[in-house]
Structures are given as structure tokens and as C-alpha cells.
Copies of this chain bind each other. A is one copy, B any other.
Amino acid sequence: MQLGVIGLGRMGRIVVDRLLAADHDVVAFDIDDEAVDEAANAGARPADSITDLAAKLDSADGKHVWLMVPAGDAVDAALEELEPSLSADDVVVDGGNSYFEDSVRRAESCPAAYLDCGTSGGPAGAELGFSLMIGGPADAYQRLTPAFDAVATGPDGHERMGPAGSGHYVKMIHNGVEYALMQAYGEGFELLHEGRYDLDLENVASVWNNGAVIRSWLLELCEEAFREEGNDLGDVADRVEGGSTGTWTVQEGLEQEVPLPLIYTALGERFGSRADDGRFSRRLASRLRYGFGRHTVPRRE
């Protein structure tokens, strides 16, 4: 089928490539001309604007446009430019990490059918395909099935979750769980690293990945990390970036009154790792030990 893809960054480009590999007809646009050229070399038809992209899509059966731009203003900007070319027969897919309430709002105002599509799998999805969690009208989801089959790991790698917003909602929570899983493995390996035995952590991860209860893709990535960085993780800094989807997950937990202590703790570890001047809370606790017990207070040099 025919699809326009807007946004040709790392993830957008994989979408293009997987659609092309499945013999779909792709029109590609990005604000970076070079990215458009590269997509054209790979077999996509280039567009020099969003309007041009829309014009190059056949309207007979409805146009299909896949957005793969950063969450936030970039999505609204692309939609603003795209919407004059859209009608009720068309389908827009937002494959980025948008906040689910933004997706609900966009679905309401978009002249076309709007599918919010949580995308997981990262660059490794280039070969394996992605996991796609999709929200929005069932018939639009149905119509794009051939495209989803191509971009996902296959027919099992995409699923309609429910109405507008539900795709990004499920992806948001996926990411919250992801934070906690990473921190859980981190705790285990920290204890193995600091503990009583001199262990080869790559070996530990490897033997766990072969038949142990906690085997997973993230654990395969742990194995890779120790292989590539060394048993002490070399010069990898104690600083974890990111946090927006985890923050949204915790906020939704507050809204729903569902306690998420592991996800919250994992998110807090990220925040804590970025406290460049030290944690004020602990500095106060240290000073209080002097206050009640005249314990020596360690001072900064």
C-alpha cells in the first residue's frame, strides 16, 4: 500500500526501510534534506514539504501518513501543515512517544482518522520489527494492517488496544515498567559486583539468559554491555538521562491512586544521578547527626 512517512530520524528511517522491504510505496519527508535524499536512495519517493508529500499520495482509497517526529510541538507543527490536505477518508498514524492526552486531543481535531501508535524495540527493530500498540478507530487500524505487519515483527507484533490515546497509554506504562526492570537488573549486578565473589558478570548474564527465570531481552543487553564495556563498565558515568515517560506513568498512578513504588524508585534514581551538587536531603541528614549526637560531619574539600 501507499504511505507517506514524515520524520526520517533513526526510528522513522527504519519505518521507511521496513515498508519498502515489504514492497509498499513510500513517500518520505524530513526537514533535513539529506535524510530525504538517503530515503530516496533507499527507494522512497522524496517530498520537499509536507504539502508536497500529501500531494504525492493517491487520494482514491484515502491517504495514509505515518508521523515519526519527536513528541510534543513537532507533532502539532506537522499536523498543522498536513491537515489542510486531509479528509475523513485518510488515516494518520503517530508513531512517536506522544503523551496520550495529546493524542486524544489530536484525534478529536484531526480531519482524518487518527491512530496513536506506541512503538517499542529501538534500533534493533530494524531487523526484528517493532512492537506496535495502537489506539483509535478499528476500521482505520484494519485498513493499515499491511503496513503494521511490515513495520512490526509481523502480525503478532501489533495490536489495537482500544480507542484514541490507548496506544500511547500502553506505551507510556511499558516504559515505566522498563525503568523498573533496568533498575532491578542494576541492583542485582551491583550486588554481584560489590559482593563476596570475584565474578565475571558477562558470564553471569549469559548463563541466566540460557534458561533462567529472569531471562529477557534487557538481560541480553546487560550481557552485551559487560562484553563491550568490561566487567566494571569502564568509564560509563553514574548519570541516567531521560525520564519523561516514566514521569507520566507515575503521574497517572497518582491520578488512579495506584502505588508504583518500583517504578517511582527507578525514576528517582535517575533524578538522583543528576544531582550534581549532591543530595540536599542527605546533606541535611548528615548535619543532623551532628545536631543530636555530635558525630563528625564530612565536609566538601
B216 touches A287 (CB 8 A): no
Task: Name the one of B181, B258, B286 contacting A236, with C-beta atoms under 8 angstroms.
Answer: B286
A176 within 8 Å of B by Cβ?
yes
B210 touches A131 (CB 8 A): yes
**16 pairs across A/B with beta carbons < 8 Å?**
A121-B292, A131-B210, A169-B196, A174-B188, A174-B213, A180-B183, A180-B187, A182-B288, A190-B258, A190-B279, A190-B284, A229-B287, A242-B295, A264-B264, A266-B285, A269-B282
**Docked complex Cα distance between A261 and B297 (Å):** 24
Segment at the interface with B among A20-28, A54-62, A105-113, A198-206: A198-206
Identity of the chain B residue whose Cβ is nearest the Cβ of A221 in the assembled complex:
B291
Task: Name the one of B132, B200, B211 contacting A129, with C-beta atoms under 8 angstroms.
Answer: B211
B residues less than 8 Å from A213 (CB atoms):
120-122, 174, 178, 217-218, 292-293
**Docked complex Cα distance between A267 and B184 (Å):** 13
Task: Name the one of B130, B133, B281 contacting A187, with C-beta atoms under 8 angstroms.
Answer: B281
A298 touches B237 (CB 8 A): yes
Identity of the chain B residue whose Cβ is nearest the Cβ of A216 in the assembled complex:
B216
B residues less than 8 Å from A266 (CB atoms):
262, 285
B residues less than 8 Å from A218 (CB atoms):
213-214, 216, 288, 291-292
Task: Name the one of B173, B212, B286 contacting A120, with C-beta atoms under 8 angstroms.
Answer: B212
A239 within 8 Å of B by Cβ?
yes
Take A152-B210, A162-B197, A291-B224 as given contacts and tell me if A281 and B217 are in contact as well, using a CB distance cutoff of 8 Å.
no
B residues less than 8 Å from A260 (CB atoms):
187, 191, 268
B283 touches A131 (CB 8 A): no
The winner among A187, A247, A280 for most chain B CB atoms within 10 A is A187
A238 within 8 Å of B by Cβ?
yes
B238 touches A278 (CB 8 A): yes
A263 touches B204 (CB 8 A): no
B residues less than 8 Å from A222 (CB atoms):
284, 288, 291
A42 within 8 Å of B by Cβ?
no
B237 touches A283 (CB 8 A): yes
A296 within 8 Å of B by Cβ?
yes
**13 new A-B pairs (CB below 8 Å) besides A161-B199, A191-B256, A261-B268?**
A121-B211, A131-B212, A157-B207, A159-B204, A176-B188, A186-B281, A187-B258, A189-B280, A236-B286, A236-B299, A250-B250, A257-B274, A261-B261
Identity of the chain B residue whose Cβ is nearest the Cβ of A156 in the assembled complex:
B210
